[in-house]
Structures are given as C-alpha cells and as structure tokens.
Structure 1
Amino acid sequence: MKRLTEKQFEQAISQLEIGDQSILIARGVLVEGKSQADFARAMNITKSAVSQAVNRVWNAYKELAEVPDGYEKVTVILPRHQAYQVRKWAKEAKGL
C-alpha cells in the first residue's frame, strides 16, 4: 500500500498543478490510508479517477525522493549551447 506523511504529501503536490478534488482524493488514500475503492464509492466517482489522482501525487513524490539533499530537479527549455552546459553540470553532479 502506498503511503505518505503529510509533509511528503505537501512536498509532492507543491510540484503539481492539481485541483482541489484530486488533492482531497490523493490525501485520503496516501496520507489517511483509505482504500481507493471505498473512496470511489464515497465520492461517487470511478476507481480509475481515484487511481489517476493518487498516481499523479505518488509519481511526483517518487521524483522528489530521487533528488539528493541540497539539489533540486529543474525542467527547462534552453538554447542548445546552454542546454549543453547544463547537461555537463548534471554529469559532474552525479559524480559527487
């Protein structure tokens, strides 16, 4: 069963553009430990909708968990020469 602390949950959703209902659903399942099926019945929505909300937050959490302390994951669009330099820095950082 996938579970997050409230702090982990808040960190994960801070990385997302996500609606209030999706936050409510994901918090109920990931933080409060409610089953996805029970949540779907209680809110009169499909299990698929619950699963999608939960997985969005869970995947955001997993991405954050892969980033070492003192680092930050950044996604940007850059000119080719700047992208080259950023990739070079990323390779150097992996060696630390």
Structure 2
Amino acid sequence: MKKRMNEAQFQKAIKDLDIGQQTVDIAWGVLVEGRPQAEYAVALGLSRGAVSQAVNRVWAAHEANLPVGFERVTAVLPEHQAFIVKKWAADAAKKTKEQAS
C-alpha cells in the first residue's frame, strides 16, 4: 500500500515538526502528489535512505494524529477474532474519513 495523504492531513502532520524545507518538499511530493522517492534521490543527489527518512518522519507524525476517542492497538489474536477486529478498523477508518470530508 502506497503511503498517501491529502493536503490537510499533510499540514496537520508537519505543524509541530522541526524539519527543514527540503524535507517538507520531499514529503509533500511523495505523500501528497504521489511522486516516486527515487525521483527526489536523483534530483537532489541524496541517498534513497535519506529520502525515505524524510518521508517516514512526516508519515509517522501523520499516524500519531488520531481522532479524539481513538486509540492505536496491536494485538495477536486467533484468526476469527482478527477478522472481526480488521472489520472494525475498516469501519472506523471509513467513519473518520467521512467526518473529515
């Protein structure tokens, strides 16, 4: 799954980050515009790891922004229970996406 976000999500993610403009530009291009990371590595003369780190820093901040009343959990469950939890997660994601629109 490609990591993607819209402009509002991006702005919220970078709001409290202490990052340079180059990191913002790279992350914007990859996460919002859907450009390949390799494009930035070549254009800016950076290693793929450096570009990946810039993108992942913003993505981690995005994932940390949970809606009020939500909590991120990790669990090991029997297959049938995991199926139910995944369905709940999909339903919750759909509801939060509808509320954001």
Tell me whether the two structures share a fold, i.e. TM-score over 0.5. Answer: yes
Q: Secondary structure at the match of 1:18?
A: coil
Task: State the aligned residue count.
Answer: 69
Q: Secondary structure at the match of 2:42?
A: helix
What are the within-5 Å matches in structure 2 for residues 33-44 of structure 1?
33-44=34-45
CA distance in 2, matches of 1:25, 1:6: 14
Q: Which residue of 2 aligns with 1:17?
A: 18
Is 2:58 aligned against 1:57? yes
Q: Which runs of 4+ in 1 moved over 2 A?
A: none
Deviation at 1:68, TM superposition (A): 1.3
CA distance in 2, matches of 1:52, 1:15: 17
Cα offsets for 1:39-94 (capped at 9, x unmatched): 21111111111100000000000000x2417xxxxxxxxxxxxxxxxxxxxxxxxx
Q: Which residue of 2 aligns with 1:68?
A: 68
Q: Secondary structure at the match of 1:3?
A: coil
Structure with greater Cα Rg: 1
5+ residue gaps, structure 1: 70-96
Residue identity (%):
50
CA distance in 1, matches of 2:67, 2:20: 25
CA distance in 2, matches of 1:30, 1:57: 9
Deviation at 1:15, TM superposition (A): 2.0
